[in-house]
Amino acid sequence: MRRINKLAILLMVIALFSAMMMTACGSKSAEKSGPTTLESFINEHPDVKSELDKKVADGETSGVAIEIKGNDIIYTYDLSGVKDMTEEFAKSDDLKEALQTALDSQADAFRSVASRMESVVNDADVEIKGIRVVVNYVYGDEVVVSGTFEPSDEAAAPAEEAPEATEEAAEEAVEEEGSN
């Protein structure tokens, strides 16, 4: 089964929040109030939480676990699910370097997601600052590579135009290792 594009997942989360905001906008006063973290915001909107949980349970986020803790949207990719990936190679410096390079190349897209999420929440008259996107590559319980992305002050490239470098880097590294 083909892995879902991680950026599509990010956009799915934003779309869920946007839909929820449309229904919540009319019920808030003009003064910003309410939850102080993204996690509490989600917990106060069970329709959005259940929709996100359903998509994860239905396998629409294949290979990716999504969790919201505090103000962090955490995406965890388990490398043990990548075909032909061994623990030794998953923890090798070569793969770590390839994954870090791929994360760095997508930093603007992840920052843009964090910025957009802050905008979506703030549009619902709830002021939540400091929303971050955390991307973890793990093998079993061990974090192999991690990146944390805070909202950008500048307009970043649209997330849907960013390259699929991180998943491709892992798959290409496995193929390259296999040919050696």
Amino acid 71: pLDDT: 94
Note the pLDDT tens digit of each residue in 110-141: 999 889 888 878 777 788 889 999 999 999 89
Residue 71, CA distances (Å) to 23, 36, 100, 136 in order = 22, 9, 23, 16
Q: Which residue has the tokens 């296999």?
A: 178
* pLDDT of 88 strictly over 90: yes
Instruction: Show the beta-strand stretches assigned E in the chain.
Output: 64-69, 72-78, 132-139, 142-149
Amino acid 69: pLDDT: 94
> Which class for 50: exposed (0-12), middle (13-18), buried (19 or more C-beta within 10 A)?
exposed
Q: What is the mean pLDDT of the chain?
A: 74
Amino acid 158: pLDDT: 40
pTM above 0.75, yes or no: no
User: Within its chain, how far is the Cα of 151 from the centroid?
Assistant: 13
Q: How confident is the model at residue 145 (pLDDT cuts 50, 70, 90)?
A: very high
Structure tokens at 20: 């929820």
Note the pLDDT tens digit of each residue in 54-81: 766 665 566 788 889 999 999 999 999 8
CA dist., res. 23 & res. 27, Å (int): 8
CA dist., res. 74 & res. 52, Å (int): 13
Note the pLDDT tens digit of each residue in 148-176: 999 976 533 344 333 344 555 556 555 65
Amino acid 63: pLDDT: 74
Residue ranges covered by each domain of the chain: 6-24+32-179
Would strands 142-149 and 132-139 be described as parallel, antiparallel, or unpaired? antiparallel
